């Protein structure tokens, strides 16, 4: 992620290479037009399609227990929300709109965006991640190419599974500070849906899709920030997909059926640690969590200059500052634009300083959040829920219903 952010910072150095021709014939250059907003009726239709899709997928997963049905629905969603709606509005990116609306009162969030953010979470709260199963176009696209999924070891799963939390934290930080919508900027698939991907974007998407042949849904599992929220809400779902319609007979046929490593195995009856040891460990981690929050928060706050480096205002202030401190520099387009804006250098410095200050506070919060996540993940791996059969992990299961076909118990 930091590499991607660094690449973005380097974009500031990019220059326009191909100037517009100068016409002597009196030809007037056409004005740059912004795309007109989607009409209200079509926006309402999007919401309706989302609601209908979520309902149908829920019915297919919970009532029909049909993998084929989920597959065809995901295909439909990919065509409608992906290729027809060009990947926007998407629930994943809506995190940023919601965050910006919370921090900037002048920003009015469109109702459609709000619904796209809330509806999948609500469904997840009651029925598990049915959105991921058959409504998310990103998931559908990756699901299509998951031909030879391999199981990742628990170590890799543990390490890579931390990235979405970091991505979520960064996305919220950048949206809250009004700096950027990084989820949209680094969206790998939207360029495919729109047939206009830049080379970098295409390369990123190709990497994900090719690796997705062997590691099923890599974006969903190891990047998607919205997946973090769905993971949290899904844990509370009462009516979640089950592998078996009745009692698990522990035939172990489903053990390797999940390409996402989202099946929890039965808990062995005996825990090698004594109750006393377990209590001691839990107490230790409970004490450690606040320490982790503060330590990571402090680290995050120290990192605020690096994090704020993405902001165009900070980049501009640095560029203006460079000649002041004596460094030689060619005047960039940004500096020229700044000069023509009539603003003073002090103003640019103070604007950048405000951003820096926001990042300082944001760095504390981001770091604190990451510390809390680490603490809770470690604590979560100490607490044990006793299971007698094979069950989908409510947090990580995408409710794709693949495992259902592997269960010999049919009623």
Partner 1 sequence: MKDQKSPVPTIKLLQNVAFVSALFAVLLCVLIIVNFIQLKRADPLNTAAMNTLIERLKSNPDDDQLRSEIRTLDLLARKAFFTNQWQVRAGGYLLFISILLVIASLKTIDFLRKKLPDEPSARADNFWEKRKINRKWVAFSGGVLVVTSLILVVFTHNDLGKNLDDAAFSRSASADSTKTQSDNDQPRAGQQDSLQIAAPSGTDSSSKTAPVALEGYPSWQEIISNFTTFRGPGSIGIAFQKNIPTSWDGKSGKNIRWKTEIPLPGFNSPVVWNDRIFLSGANESKREVYGIDINTGKILWRTEVEKIPGSPSKAPSVHKETGQSAPTLTTDGRRVYAIFANGDLIALDMDGNKVWDKNLGVPVNHYGHSSSLIMYHDLLIIQYDQRNSAAIMALSGKTGETIWKTNRNVKVSWASPSLINTGKRSEIILAAEPYVAGYNPVNGKELWKFDCISGEVGPSIAYADGVVFSVNEYSKLAAVQIGETPKLLWEDTEYLSDVPSPVATDKYLFLVTSYGTMVCYDAKAGTKYWEHEFGNATYASPMLVEGKIYLLDKRGVMNIVKADKDFSLIGESALGEGSFCTPAFANGHLFIRGDKNLYCIGK
- Binding residue for partner 1, selected from 8, 66, 211, 299, defined by CB under 8 A: 299
Interface with partner 1 includes 393 (CB under 8 A)? Answer: no
**CB closer to partner 1 out of 45 and 382:** 382
Bridge partner residues of 263 (DSSP): 392
CA separation, residue 13 to residues 7, 198, 312 (Å): 10, 18, 12
CA separation, residue 219 to residues 142, 263, 368, 387 (Å): 8, 19, 25, 29
CA separation, residue 246 to residues 59, 89, 263, 390 (Å): 18, 39, 17, 12
- Give the binding-site size for partner 1 (rule: CB under 8 A): 74
Q: Contact region for partner 1 (CB under 8 A) — 48-56, 89-97, 100-108, 229-237? A: 100-108
**CB closer to partner 1 out of 45 and 377:** 377
Binding mask 313-342 for partner 1 (x = CB under 8 A): -x--xx--x--xx---------------xx
Interface with partner 1 includes 21 (CB under 8 A)? Answer: yes
Closest separation in Å from C-beta 123 to partner 1: 26
- Binding residue for partner 1, selected from 312, 332, 353, 393, defined by CB under 8 A: 353
Binding mask 37-76 for partner 1 (x = CB under 8 A): ----------------------------------------
- Binding residue for partner 1, selected from 35, 37, 268, 326, defined by CB under 8 A: 268
Closest separation in Å from C-beta 342 to partner 1: 4
Closest separation in Å from C-beta 15 to partner 1: 12
d(CA 162, CA 171): 15
Examine residue 89 and say whether the peptide bond preceding it is cis (omega within 30 degrees of 0): yes
Interface with partner 1 includes 347 (CB under 8 A)? Answer: yes
**CB closer to partner 1 out of 267 and 286:** 267
Q: Contact region for partner 1 (CB under 8 A) — 53-61, 89-97, 142-150, 329-337? A: 142-150
**Encoded tokens for 242:** 């089950």
Closest separation in Å from C-beta 305 to partner 1: 5
Interface with partner 1 includes 219 (CB under 8 A)? Answer: no
Q: Which residue has the tokens 């250059």?
A: 29
**CB closer to partner 1 out of 52 and 249:** 249
**CB closer to partner 1 out of 154 and 388:** 154
**CB closer to partner 1 out of 255 and 334:** 255
**CB closer to partner 1 out of 122 and 158:** 158
Q: Are strands 391-392 and 263-264 parallel, antiparallel or unpaired?
A: antiparallel
- Binding residue for partner 1, selected from 14, 31, 105, 276, defined by CB under 8 A: 105
Q: Contact region for partner 1 (CB under 8 A) — 41-49, 179-187, 303-311, 326-334? A: 303-311
Interface with partner 1 includes 302 (CB under 8 A)? Answer: yes
Binding mask 173-192 for partner 1 (x = CB under 8 A): -------------------x
């Amino acid at each position: 992620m930091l590499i991607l952010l660094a690449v973005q910072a380097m974009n500031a150095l990019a220059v326009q290479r191909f100037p517009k021709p100068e016409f002597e014939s009196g030809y007037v250059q056409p004005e740059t037009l912004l795309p007109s907003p989607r009409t209200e009726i079509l926006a309402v239709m999007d919401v309706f399609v989302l609601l209908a899709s979520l309902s149908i997928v829920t019915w297919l997963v919970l009532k029909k227990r049909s993998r084929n049905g989920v597959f065809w629905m995901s295909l439909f969603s990919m065509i409608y929300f992906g290729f027809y709606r060009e990947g926007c509005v998407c629930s994943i990116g809506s995190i940023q709109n919601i965050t910006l609306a919370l921090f900037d009162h002048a920003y009015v969030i469109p109702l459609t965006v709000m619904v796209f953010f809330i509806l999948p979470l609500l469904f997840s709260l009651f029925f598990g991640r049915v959105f991921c199963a058959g409504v998310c176009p990103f998931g559908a696209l990756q699901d299509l190419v998951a031909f030879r999924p391999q199981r990742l070891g628990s170590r890799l799963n543990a390490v890579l599974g931390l990235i979405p939390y970091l991505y979520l934290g960064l996305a919220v930080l950048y949206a809250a500070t009004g700096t950027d919508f990084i989820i949209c900027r680094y969206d790998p698939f939207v360029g495919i849906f729109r047939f206009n991907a830049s080379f970098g974007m295409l390369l990123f998407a190709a990497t994900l899709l090719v690796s997705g042949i062997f590691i099923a849904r890599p974006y969903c599992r190891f990047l998607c920030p919205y997946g973090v929220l769905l993971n949290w809400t899904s844990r509370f779902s009462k009516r979640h997909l089950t592998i078996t319609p009745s009692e698990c007979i522990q035939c172990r046929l489903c053990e390797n059926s999940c390409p996402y490593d989202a099946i929890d195995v039965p808990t062995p009856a005996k825990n090698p640690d004594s109750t006393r040891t377990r209590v001691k460990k839990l107490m230790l981690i409970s004490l450690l969590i606040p320490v982790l929050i503060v330590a990571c928060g402090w680290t995050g706050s120290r990192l605020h200059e690096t994090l704020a480096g993405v902001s165009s205002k900070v980049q501009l202030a640095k560029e203006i500052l460079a000649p002041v401190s004596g460094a030689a520099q060619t005047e960039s387009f940004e500096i020229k634009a700044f000069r023509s804006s009539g603003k003073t250098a002090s103003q640019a410095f103070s604007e950048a300083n405000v951003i820096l200050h926001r990042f300082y506070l944001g760095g504390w919060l981001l770091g604190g959040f990451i510390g809390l996540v680490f603490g809770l993940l470690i604590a979560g791996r100490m607490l044990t829920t006793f299971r007698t059969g094979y069950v989908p992990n409510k947090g990580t299961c995408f409710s794709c219903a693949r495992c259902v076909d592997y269960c010999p118990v049919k009623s």
